[in-house]
């Protein structure tokens, strides 16, 4: 399976903070926002990754992440010339995806939970024979997101993008698993009234074919949309609290690479030494020096 991180857009809701920098390069507490979706792909054991961003921002991501080899993964980059909707990611990434299945995660989404790795692996396995798996997350105010409607048997009836009158409280966060047909479906999507290739149109294509699966994220998983200043603040506060309470870092990509066996202890030590003047670097070295072999999922 291939992975795509979509980190484009203009982030106008965060102006003036994002006038000169991509929002996915802004910090969520102690690390760039882009680390959080990247960690999701790594936890799903997806190591071949395409990062899509703007022409101005791609060089910054390349400077930050390189080709991913320091983490035991492979990262490529492509430009989205203008924000034309989430479904365009599969058109831009067609050659990268090839004949493979693909997981798309939005660059401004933060997920955390003790059961997250298991949820990701189940979603990945669920499309082994085709189809798509998306997620449902309970929100009191669902009108700003794609909304999933269920019948009394929890079967999906419809998916609607940013409805004025939501038919349920379950929204679709920015994490999607698809078989290879997603490229074909994305190419057939007509621009919406907003002029975008909506991801809901792709999901509805799978729904029409009865190949769409929806997994509900329960209370054990936290999700943050960081598209507003309030969202950034809430996510940063959550990460700060969890790290101080548990002692483990959230979405630490170097730790995930080490625990997954993508890099060895010496490589982890080298990464920590490069950041030795920061608390983050000291944390990486503590994993090596204290032989902290406790399980840490995210």
Which residue reads 């290879």 in tokens? Answer: 180
The closest alpha carbon to 80, from 132, 24, 17, belongs to 24
pLDDT tens, per residue, the chain with 298 residues:
999 999 988 888 889 988 888 999 999 999 999 999 999 999 999 999 999 999 999 999 999 999 999 999 999 999 998 888 899 999 999 999 999 999 999 999 999 998 899 999 999 999 989 999 999 999 888 888 889 988 877 788 888 888 888 888 999 999 999 999 999 999 999 888 777 888 989 999 999 999 999 988 878 899 998 989 999 999 999 999 999 999 999 999 999 999 999 999 999 999 999 999 999 999 999 999 876 555 555 6
DSSP assignment letter at 264: -
Coil, helix or strand for 271?
helix
| DSSP β-ladder status, 109-113 and 175-178 | unpaired
d(CA 64, CA 55): 15
Coil, helix or strand for 2?
strand
The closest alpha carbon to 8, from 52, 66, 61, 50, belongs to 52
**CB contact at 8 A, 149 and 158:** yes
Run of H or E residues at 97: helix 94-97
Q: Residue 140 corresponds to which tokens in the numbers above?
A: 């009191």
d(CA 225, CA 106): 10
**CB contact at 8 A, 9 and 224:** no
The closest alpha carbon to 179, from 132, 110, 237, 231, belongs to 132
d(CA 50, CA 181): 18
* Residue-range domains of the chain with CATH: 2-262 (3.90.550.10)
Sign of torsion, CA 268 274 275 276?
A: positive
Beta strands in the chain (DSSP E): 2-6, 27-28, 31-32, 48-53, 74-79, 102-106, 109-113, 132-138, 146-150, 156-161, 170-171, 175-178, 212-217, 221-225
**CB contact at 8 A, 130 and 181:** yes
The model's pTM: 0.94
């Amino acid at each position: 399976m291939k992975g795509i991180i979509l980190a484009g857009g203009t982030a106008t809701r965060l102006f003036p903070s994002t006038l000169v920098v991509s929002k996915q390069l802004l910090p969520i507490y102690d690390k760039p926002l882009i680390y959080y979706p990247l960690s999701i792909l790594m936890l799903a054991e997806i190591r071949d990754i395409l990062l899509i961003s703007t022409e101005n921002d791609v060089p910054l991501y390349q400077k930050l992440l390189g080709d991913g080899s320091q983490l035991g993964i492979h990262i490529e980059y492509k430009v989205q010339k203008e924000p034309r909707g989430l479904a365009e990611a599969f058109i831009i990434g067609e050659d990268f995806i090839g004949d493979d299945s693909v997981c798309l995660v939005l660059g401004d989404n933060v997920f955390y939970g003790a059961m997250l790795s298991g949820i990701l692996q189940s979603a990945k396995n669920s499309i082994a024979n085709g189809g798509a798996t998306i997620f449902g997350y309970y929100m009191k105010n669902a009108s700003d997101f794609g909304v999933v409607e269920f019948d009394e048997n929890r079967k999906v009836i419809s998916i609607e993008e940013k409805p004025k009158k939501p038919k349920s409280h379950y929204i679709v966060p920015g994490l999607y698993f698809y078989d290879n047909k997603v490229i074909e479906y994305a190419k057939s999507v007509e621009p919406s009234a907003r002029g975008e290739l909506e991801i809901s149109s792709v999901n509805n294509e799978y729904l029409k074919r009865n190949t769409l699966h929806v997994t509900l994220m329960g209370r054990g998983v936290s999700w943050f949309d960081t598209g507003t200043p309030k969202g950034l603040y809430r996510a940063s506060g959550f990460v700060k609290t969890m790290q101080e309470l548990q002692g483990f870092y959230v979405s630490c990509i170097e730790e995930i690479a080490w625990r997954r066996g993508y890099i060895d202890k010496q490589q982890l030590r080298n990464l920590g030494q490069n950041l030795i003047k920061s608390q983050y670097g000291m944390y990486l070295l503590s994993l090596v020096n204290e032989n902290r072999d406790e399980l840490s999922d995210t």
